Amino acid sequence: MRDFSGDHRWLSINTATVRKSRGHDARLTDIIEDCARRGIRAISPWRDQVAAAGLRTIANLAKTHEMELSGYCRGGMFPATDPLGLRAAHQDNCRAVDEACELNASCLVLVVGGLPGALAGKPAHKDIAAARTQVRDGIAELLEYARAAGMPLAIEPLHPMYAADRACINTLEQALDVCDQLDPARSGALGVAVDIYHVWWDPKLQAQIERAGSKRLLAFHVCDWLTPTTDMLNDRGMMGDGVIDIPRIRGWIEGCGYAGYSEVEIFSTANWWQRDRGEVLDTCIQRHRGAV
Amino acid sequence: MRDFSGDHRWLSINTATVRKSRGHDARLTDIIEDCARRGIRAISPWRDQVAAAGLRTIANLAKTHEMELSGYCRGGMFPATDPLGLRAAHQDNCRAVDEACELNASCLVLVVGGLPGALAGKPAHKDIAAARTQVRDGIAELLEYARAAGMPLAIEPLHPMYAADRACINTLEQALDVCDQLDPARSGALGVAVDIYHVWWDPKLQAQIERAGSKRLLAFHVCDWLTPTTDMLNDRGMMGDGVIDIPRIRGWIEGCGYAGYSEVEIFSTANWWQRDRGEVLDTCIQRHRGAV
């Protein structure tokens, strides 16, 4: 396992972590400058942040700072109630692939979606199996496009507490079943993003990481699980503040040959998003060295 | 699949559902009387409610009303930081078995516990694998006692969002692995309680229900998953108000030969616990007939 204690060359900042500074929306250009100033070599930005700043602006700024993109957040949200909705999702996902290419991201992360309408509190139906079929079909279709564009797709299994409204792929095993089905040759065009927040609890985690192997481990996201967790979406902890044995999981990942970035992704309305961005980034660096 | 639409003979009320009436703590004796008055034939009471009312009182009252116990809530909480803690948990669980026998419950439900101290916000360590080993060993030891007493133990896999603090057995597959290990003969002394709130999201649910079979399906709990869910513990929905396809899951359960009660277990600080108990019970009856 790589020694992270001496530097932070393998730290990436998912820009949702510093989406807000002192409670105010942050500009992605400012985030990138602050990361560059600290020698942070990689980020993973969100589409809305990129759109707000301008795609070319961000692509150029990343180039200027030789900043890599450990991923691009995010494609997905495949399920819909009708063919028109499915088509719109596909087209939007193709645009996400194009943007990821423009930004030279290492992969497009897929949060696959749940029951149509559920995120808005109005689920159109209760058939999660049907949603999963739409997700598989949607990934299959997008994979053709992404493969031609040379952009790997990383399915991110989300914690089961998001099964209804955000992603109906909820375990690494399930994500890898989709990979086996759609890319049996393990070409590298389709893989997974392992975010420990979503998968840490899984008794089959180690076995499934080994099953994934380096060809399918496209991204590794870290934060921590707090006890208690006061909000189901926006109460993630800083690495070291919760109950996840992060080094153990990183050991499994790297034992399979993963040698990419460790990307910090923290949604935290009440705590980290209330702090100054510099403090948050400095803390990420410190914890990356000591708690990851 | 049984037709529930014409009566509610297979309805059981987990007494946590009416733990509070109009926001005030309810007495278990009153709950039982109100259930009996409505022709509800079964309940599943909690230990603290029984203790407050008196074990003999409740045993006699249940007998008077010919009220069955679809389960007794709950044993478990096995993990500890030292041998003394493990011993105390075992002794308390033996008492729970004794009480379940006295009450003539059909099984003792086990919520197995998570990381020691986590429920109080002070996790003693981060080794969930170690906690799981303690759980398995704890169940093994308790099984000897429960088997001699003739009281089946029902492991309840809890939703992964409770892995840290309430139960580190989080899927039906994992629970059944423990059953296979500790009771390979499928004697009926060890099985599972399937609560749809905890397992509805699982892509392997149907397969694992079939794996369990009637010998290991000891209890079936229903409520619903709301979108959004505003509290991780106490925002469960009434059957029909959420996204779970309950009849489909009941079909799988009954397809395996399960012919016991459908037990309503709803924790709901802001909604159902604020209502009048009679209204809640009447709603349970109505939804049992139409949405389960």
Each residue's pLDDT tens digit, A236-253: 999 999 999 999 999 999
Residue B105 lies in a domain: yes
Residue A33 lies in a domain: yes
Distance from the A205 Cα atom to the nearest Cα atom in chain B, whole angstroms: 11
DSSP run (H or E) holding A218: strand A217-222
- C-alpha distance from residue A14 to each of A62, A89, A144, B160 (Å): 14, 23, 27, 24
Alpha-helix runs per DSSP H in chain A: 28-37, 47-53, 55-64, 83-102, 128-149, 172-182, 196-199, 205-216, 246-255, 277-291
Question: If you count DSSP H runs as helices and E runs as strands, how many of each does chain A have, helices first?
Answer: 10, 11
pLDDT at B153: 99
Amino acid identity of residue B181, one-letter, is: Q
- C-alpha distance from residue B266 to each of A176, B16, B20, B172, B226 (Å): 34, 7, 11, 20, 12
Asked if A132 reaches chain B (Cβ–Cβ under 8 Å), the answer is yes
DSSP run (H or E) holding B16: none
pLDDT at A12: 99
Contact by Cβ (8 Å): A195, A221: yes
d(CA A219, CA A225): 19
Contacting residues for B222 by C-beta, under 8 A, at least 6 apart: B195, B196, B239, B246, B250, B262, B263, B264, B265, B292
**For chain B, what's the residue count?**
292
Query: Which of A136, A196, A232 to substitute to test the interface with B, most B CBs within 10 Å?
Result: A232
Per-residue DSSP letter, B74: E
> Structure pTM?
0.98
pLDDT at B101: 98
Tell me: ipTM over 0.95.
yes
pLDDT at A31: 98
Nearest to B121 among A160, A170, A228 (CB): A228
Nearest to B160 among A128, A159, A168 (CB): A159
Residue A191 lies in a domain: yes
Does A118 contact B164 at a Cβ distance shorter than 8 Å? no
Cα dihedral A228, A230, A234, A239, rounded to 10, equals -20
Collapsing DSSP to helix, strand or coil, A108 comes out as strand
Residues 135-164 of B with CB under 8 A from A: 159-161, 163-164
pLDDT at B7: 97
Q: Which residue of B has its CA nearest to A224?
A: B126
Does A203 contact B159 at a Cβ distance shorter than 8 Å? no
Residue A2 lies in a domain: no
Residue A208 lies in a domain: yes
Residue A116 lies in a domain: yes
Asked if B245 reaches chain A (Cβ–Cβ under 8 Å), the answer is yes
pLDDT at A268: 98
Residue A273: count other Cβ atoms within 10 Å of its Cβ: 23
Beta strands B153-155 and B108-111 are parallel
Domain range for A145 is 11-291
pLDDT at A135: 98
Q: Among candidates B126, B128, B113, B225, which has minimal Cα distance to B167? A: B113
Low-confidence stretches of chain B (pLDDT < 50) are: none
Chain A residues in contact with B168 (beta carbon < 8 A) = 201
pLDDT at B156: 98
Q: Which residue of B has its CA nearest to A244?
A: B126
Label residue A240 exposed, middle or buried (CB < 10 Å: 0-12, 13-18, 19+): middle
Nearest to B126 among A123, A165, A244 (CB): A244
Contacting residues for A213 by C-beta, under 8 A, at least 6 apart: A186, A256, A257
On the CB side of B236, how many CA atoms lie within 13 Å of its CA?
21
Residue B2 lies in a domain: no
Q: State the residue for tokens 């400012």.
A: A30
Distance from the A33 Cα atom to the nearest Cα atom in chain B, whole angstroms: 36
| CA B176-B169-B101 angle, 5° bins | 75
Q: What is the CATH number of the domain that holds B29?
A: 3.20.20.150
pLDDT in tens, chain A (292 residues): 999 999 999 999 999 999 999 999 999 999 999 999 999 999 999 999 999 999 999 999 999 999 999 999 999 999 999 999 999 999 999 999 999 999 999 999 999 999 999 999 999 999 999 999 999 999 999 999 999 999 999 999 999 999 999 999 999 999 999 999 999 999 999 999 999 999 999 999 999 999 999 999 999 999 999 999 999 999 999 999 999 999 999 999 999 999 999 999 999 999 999 999 999 999 999 999 999 9
What average pLDDT does the structure give for chain B? 98
Collapsing DSSP to helix, strand or coil, A23 comes out as coil
Number of domains, chain B: 1
B80-107 b/e with 16+ CB inside 10 Å = b? beeeebbeebbeebbebbbbbbebebbb
Residue B3 lies in a domain: no
Contact by Cβ (8 Å): B226, A115: no
d(CA B273, CA B172): 29
- C-alpha distance from residue B237 to each of B21, B47, B249, B253, B254 (Å): 16, 23, 17, 21, 23
Contact by Cβ (8 Å): B111, B74: yes
Structure tokens at A231: 């909000």
